[in-house]
């Protein structure tokens, strides 16, 4: 017997995919399907972003800045779609959300391990975020691996060093678990990149776009939270919007922002 021909449904596992949206409210409440679909779509985009970020690091390590930029462009386009998607959820009024909110119990985007993996890749690492997941679970194993990996910023500094810039060894061998702190030495290098090295200045600009894009998502998410639940605490146990506000406006790559006033 030959294998059955590949079809749209078999290739994409459509039957299985369509069974994965399981509302918990009685009825079920009309808006719960939208809430589930949006979150699942986000998780798929997170998966794709992780795939592309791995590629960016590899391309930087291989000294291929144009291809790294091309991949960053794709990441930025996905981020734009991710931010725009929040508009759809904002069509849900506070009362529509309340109609099923209690059925979420303690579930929250706060527990998205793929979101934490993206943060880890971009240098926002935390042991606490790791320990929220049971040992040996898929999420924990993935996060432990990402915790130990160099960040996109580390790959960028290594790339600059290979391009002939005098990145201090203390930065090239830094503990990749530590946060990304501003550095006067790196800033001096970046200023000269911006002044004299168009190719690498373009790459820097894509990293600024990325940093701004993540901040944009955080800002839009907190605004959506404010308009949907006001000052109520989150299902994930945090103070809600007040907690989220603290994460808005924190740059991922502070050096790239600080040099603006030196140019």
**Interacting residues toward ligand HEM by CB under 6 A:** 38-39, 42, 89, 97, 108-110, 112, 115, 221, 224-225, 228-229, 234-238, 240, 243-244, 247
CA distance 175 to 178: 6
- Closer by beta carbon to ligand HEM, 90 or else 185: 90
Distances, alpha carbon 222 to alpha carbons 34, 42, 174, 228, in Å: 19, 16, 33, 10
To ligand HEM, the closest distance from the beta carbon of 186 in angstroms equals: 26
CA distance 138 to 231: 33
Task: Supply the minimum distance, in Å, between the C-beta of residue 234 and ligand HEM.
Answer: 2
Cis before 28? omega within 30: yes
The CB-of-111 to ligand HEM minimum distance in angstroms stands at 8
Q: Which is nearer to ligand HEM, 63 or 237 (CB)?
A: 237
What minimum distance in Å lies between the beta carbon of 228 and ligand HEM?
Answer: 4
Comparing CB distances to ligand HEM, the nearer of 110 and 219 is 110
Q: Where are the alpha helices (DSSP H) in 123-162?
A: 127-131, 138-148, 152-162
> Long-range contacts: 40-48, Cβ < 8 Å, 24+?
41/85, 42/82, 42/85, 42/109, 42/112, 43/112, 43/114, 45/78, 45/81, 45/82, 46/112, 46/114, 46/115, 46/117, 46/118, 47/114, 48/78
Q: How far is the CB of 98 from ligand HEM (least distance, A)?
A: 10
HSE-CB of 236 using CA atoms within 13 angstroms: 14
Task: Report the residue number, 244 or 252, with the smaller CB distance to ligand HEM.
Answer: 244
Give whichever of 70 and 132 is closer to ligand HEM, judged by the CB atom.
132
Closest distance of CB 51 from ligand HEM, Å: 17
Nearer to ligand HEM (CB atom), residue 51 or residue 66:
51
């Amino acid at each position: 017997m030959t294998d059955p021909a590949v079809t749209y449904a078999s290739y994409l596992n459509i039957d299985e995919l369509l069974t994965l949206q399981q509302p918990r409210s009685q009825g079920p409440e009309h808006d719960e399907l939208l809430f589930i679909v949006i979150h699942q779509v986000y998780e798929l985009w997170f998966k794709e972003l992780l795939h592309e970020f791995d590629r960016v690091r590899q391309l930087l390590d291989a000294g291929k800045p144009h291809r790294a930029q091309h991949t960053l462009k794709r990441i930025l386009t996905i981020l734009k779609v991710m931010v725009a998607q929040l508009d759809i959820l904002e069509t849900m009024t506070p009362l529509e959300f309340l109609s099923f909110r209690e059925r979420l119990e303690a579930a929250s985007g706060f527990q998205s391990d793929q979101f934490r993996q993206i943060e880890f890749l971009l240098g926002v690492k935390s042991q606490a975020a790791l320990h929220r997941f049971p040992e040996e679970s898929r999420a924990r194993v993935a996060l432990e691996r990402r915790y130990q990996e160099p960040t996109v910023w580390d790959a960028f500094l290594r790339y600059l060093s290979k391009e002939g810039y005098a990145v201090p060894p203390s930065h090239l061998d830094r503990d990749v678990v530590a946060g990304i702190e501003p550095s006067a030495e790196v800033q001096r290098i970046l200023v000269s990149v911006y002044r004299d090295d168009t190719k690498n200045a373009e790459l820097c600009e894509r990293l600024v776009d990325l940093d701004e894009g993540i901040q944009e998502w955080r800002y839009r998410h907190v605004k959506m939270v404010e308009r949907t639940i006001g000052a109520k605490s989150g299902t994930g146990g945090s103070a809600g919007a007040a907690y989220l506000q603290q994460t808005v406006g924190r740059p991922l790559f502070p050096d790239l922002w600080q040099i603006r006033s030196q140019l």
